[in-house]
């Protein structure tokens, strides 16, 4: 079946039909065909990839580019091939193995998830969406992703790529809202095909990652550019509130990152003065901020305080 331009006019079905049993989604065929021909060869997509390894990839990929995840993921699945293996590891080893992936609390949550899987699910990653959602560090997206990609289930997988593709092709706007809205979830559910929904999910994600990118989308390569509502409207620029860029210089996150980097690279516990040397100048002028960040890291379980004002990664 060839996706002809003649179907473009039929694209404007309001989707208000309550049937939804038969999916008439005109995006379906061309996007899946595009995916079959253009998908990246990622290791967690290989047939038979264990659910645990897929789960690890999804946690690592949260807010983190694929190229940066790949080497760390390979190290983790070799070192901790099962949930039980990771559950027994020490936080210090896990935090160091996380390296500079960012958001190191994810590593601790993955550790906690592994322990929960061992204790509550016999060491096997649960396939049930609700049970996945109950695990530490697993939210709406990751639960749907693991259920789909590891177990072939049918769920609306709404990540930043999918949201952007739907915003453009269906809603006709350049960027989706700041936070996931009920309307987006409803739309994603309605667009879900009855068959091979997990392939549809990864296909839309891939399209968003490779073609329908945030900046300078490659519309010439897009399999649905002829029926893209945003494009048909003349690619109008984003009208909503300006999306806030993440501040960085002088923020707690910068200080926390510097403190963690120092502790990761040190085999021995560090004294407070040694720690101060490692943090940026901005924080040197604000002892208040330093102590706040250190306390926060301790509360998060990323740092362990020792007697004598020394600190180390949690043993």
Q: For binding to DNA (CB under 7 A), which residues are involved?
A: 42, 44-45, 57-58, 61-66, 68, 100-105, 109, 136-143, 145, 159-161, 164, 178-179, 181, 205-206, 208-209, 213-216, 243-246, 248, 251-254, 256-258, 260-261, 296
Six token digits for residue 253 = 């996150």
Q: Which is nearer to DNA, 8 or 66 (CB)?
A: 66
Residue 14 neighbours by CB distance under 10 Å: 5
* Nearest distance from C-beta of residue 2 to DNA, angstroms: 28
In angstroms, what is the minimal distance from the CB of 79 to DNA? Answer: 20
Q: How far is the CB of 61 from DNA (least distance, A)?
A: 3
How far is 183 from 15, CA to CA, in rounded Å? 13
| Active-site residue, from 36, 46, 58, 184 | 58
DSSP sequence for 256-297: HHHHHHHHHH-SS-EEHHHHHHHS-HHHHT-HHHHHHHHHHH
Which is closer to DNA, CB of 11 or CB of 60? Answer: 60
The rounded distance, in Å, linking the Cα atoms of 165 and 155 is 17
78 tagged catalytic: no
Q: Residue 173 and residue 206: Cα distance in Å, rounded?
A: 19
Calculate the alpha carbon distances from 183 to 167, 170, 178, 263 in Å. 11, 12, 13, 44
In angstroms, rounded to a whole number, what is the distance separating the alpha carbons of residues 23 and 201?
14
CB atoms within 10 A of CB 1: 7
Query: Shortest gap between Cβ of 150 and DNA (angstroms)?
Result: 11
The nearer residue to DNA, 214 or 306, going by C-beta atoms, is 214
**Residues known to be catalytic:** 58
């Amino acid at each position: 079946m060839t996706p002809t331009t003649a179907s473009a006019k039929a694209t404007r079905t309001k989707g208000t039909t309550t049937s939804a049993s038969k999916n008439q989604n005109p995006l379906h065929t061309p996007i899946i065909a595009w995916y079959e021909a253009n998908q990246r060869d990622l290791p967690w997509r290989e047939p038979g990839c264990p659910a645990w390894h897929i789960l690890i990839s999804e946690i690592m990929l949260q807010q983190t580019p694929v190229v940066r995840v790949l080497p760390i993921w390979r190290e983790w699945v070799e070192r901790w091939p099962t949930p039980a293996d990771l559950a027994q590891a020490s936080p210090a080893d896990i935090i160091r193995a996380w390296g500079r992936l960012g958001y190191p609390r994810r590593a601790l949550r993955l550790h906690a998830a592994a322990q929960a899987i061992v204790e509550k699910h016999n060491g096997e990653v649960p396939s049930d969406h609700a049970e996945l959602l109950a695990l530490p560090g697993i939210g709406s997206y990751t639960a749907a992703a693991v259920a789909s990609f590891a177990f072939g289930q049918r769920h609306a997988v709404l990540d930043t790529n999918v949201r952007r593709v739907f915003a453009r092709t269906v809603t006709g706007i350049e960027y989706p809202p700041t936070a996931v809205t009920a309307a987006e979830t409803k739309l994603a559910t309605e667009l879900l095909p009855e068959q091979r929904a997990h392939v549809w999910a990864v296909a839309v994600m891939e399209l968003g990652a490779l073609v329908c990118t945030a900046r300078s989308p490659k519309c010439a390569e897009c399999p649905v550019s002829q029926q893209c509502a945003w494009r048909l409207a003349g690619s109008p620029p984003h009208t909503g509130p300006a999306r806030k860029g993440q501040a960085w210089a002088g923020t707690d996150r910068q200080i926390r990152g510097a403190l963690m980097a120092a502790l990761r690279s040190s085999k021995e516990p560090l004294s407070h003065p040694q720690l101060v040397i490692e943090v940026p100048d901005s924080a040197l002028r604000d002892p208040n901020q330093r102590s706040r960040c250190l306390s926060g890291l301790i509360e998060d379980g990323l740092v362990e305080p020792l007697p004598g004002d020394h600190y180390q990664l949690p043993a």
